[in-house]
Structures are given as structure tokens and as C-alpha cells.
A = this chain, B = another copy of it.
Amino acid sequence: MGRTEDLKAKGLDLGGLDGTFGFLLHAAWRDAARTFAEHFAETGITPLGYSILLLIARNPGCAPGDLCEIMGVTSNNMTRLIDDLSRRSLIERTVHAADRRARRLQLTAQGAATLEGLRARHAAYEADFNDRIGAERIDRLCEILRHFD
């Protein structure tokens, strides 16, 4: 079971925190981030970086602004995430011919190859949680989380 179950057994009064969705959401996200970091150790890829690579793979030529909207990251921060992946030669950023303000993003050959390894790690990470939490619960979780902004 989860952490809150263990703690109540120790006589500490959680003061309703274990019924507070924000507290639980934060804890669950940190669990996911920590587990992601374990599975992606020594790749230097963070959850945000992985999302970007995945999105560029599916939408070659997309613009940073597209990723901002999907990922909920502001453009200034997206620039730095893209800088990092670009500096590591995983993606290529070129000026858009039609609108020279915009940029076109694409995976490099190295980026595409790297992504395959990352997909395998991600599958293992998800299998990890399916084992721990239950695949059916994870599905119901996703269904509910899609109602958030």
C-alpha cells in the first residue's frame, strides 16, 4: 500500500492530509518522477525532455510553440529545454521557411536512435507502476486525470 497507510499506523495524525487530493497528487507525482529518474539513469533525459522527443518524433517539423501548448510549458522555458536537446545533437532546430520567426524541430538520426532506447526504458517504467499499483487502477487514474487542465 501507499505511504499514508504506513504512517497512520505510527500514531501520527495526518490531519486530513491523506484525504486532500493536492497532497496525494504531489506525492504521487514525486513518486513517478523519482521512478522515472531511476529508469532513465545516466541517459540525462528528464520527463520533459522525453515528452519533447516523443512529440517531435510524431510531429516532425513542429514548432516550439506547439510543444508549449501541449506540454503546458512557457516559451522561455521551452527554449532552454530545446537548447539542451539540441546541444546534445538529439534534435535539429531550423528556421521555418514560410515564417522566419518560427522554427522547425526534427529529430536527428542520433535522436531517433536514442529515442528507441528511451521508449524501452519508458515501457519498463510503466510496467513497474502497473505491477506496483495495478494496471486497471492506472487506467482509471488516467481517465480521471484527463479532466484536469
Count the copies.
Answer: 2
CB neighbours of A125 from chain B (8 A) = 22
List the interface of chain A (C-beta within 8 A of B): 1-5, 7, 12-33, 36, 47, 51, 54-55, 57-59, 62, 66, 69-70, 72, 122, 125-126, 129, 132-134, 137-138, 140-142, 144-149
- B142 near A141 with CB under 8 A, answer no
Chain B's closest residue to A70 (CB) is B7
A31 to B27, CA, bound (A): 15
Pick the residue among B15, B30, B57, B62 that contacts A72 (CB under 8 A): B30
- A149 near B58 with CB under 8 A, answer no
A66 to B7, CA, bound (A): 10
A47 to B147, CA, bound (A): 21
A144 to B145, CA, bound (A): 11
- B26 near A47 with CB under 8 A, answer yes
